[in-house]
Structure 1
């Protein structure tokens, strides 16, 4: 009985470790927690951009990977692009902003 209990404990520990390693992030892939954080950050950045009077008409796409926000799409001026970057940087959780926006 004691031997089978040790075997089951070892099996459980192995499965737990495999599960944790399977959810860990790599440089090209996010873990589950990071993905959820990035979804929240993306939503907050989109809302902040939509709520900004100067950016309402802009066609800005927002993507986030490990806290780094990428802004792409079209804006009317360099000032609007700079404003979008500033708005994105002001959102909690954003670690960096990449500006890939184009001027119409």
Structure 2
């Protein structure tokens, strides 16, 4: 199941790169592609990790800065997501805006 999710995330990342128009804040098409690649790699690492939910955490990348948003069920999950994002090649900075919200029982 994880392999299917990872393949889906990679395919989604590839689709977002095709027909890429440079967005606000990105100086070149190459930078846009680099940012899309970084975002896809971060999401793939989340999908591979047992502690982090790739479905609850959103990843946005601009000029090598990764912004994480969404919800984690614990501080440990939030911290792990930040660690995984920092470990991705070409990431310059991580802004971890994930909100810790324990799962409702």
| Fold agreement, TM-score > 0.5 | yes
Question: When you count helix as a share of all residues, which structure comes out higher?
Answer: 1
Equivalent residues in 2 for 1:1-104 (5 A)?
28-56=25-53, 59-104=56-101
Larger radius of gyration: 1
Q: Deviations over 1:33-85 (max 9, x none)?
A: 10000000000000001110111376100000000000000000111100000
For this pair of structures, how many residues does the alignment match? 79
Indicate if the aligned counterparts of 2:59 and 2:69 stay in contact, CA closer than 8 A.
yes
The answer (yes or no) to whether the contact 2:64–2:90 under 8 Å persists in 1 is yes
Gaps of 5+ in 2: 1-21
TM-score, length basis structure 1: 0.70
CA distance, structure 2, for counterparts of residue 103 and residue 69 of structure 1: 18
Structure 1: where are the runs of 5+ without partners? 1-24
What CA RMSD, in Å, does the superposition of the two structures yield over aligned residues?
1.9
> Where has structure 1 moved over 4 Å in runs of 4 or more?
none
| TM-score after normalising by structure 2 | 0.69
| 8 Å CA contact retained: 1:89, 1:96 | yes
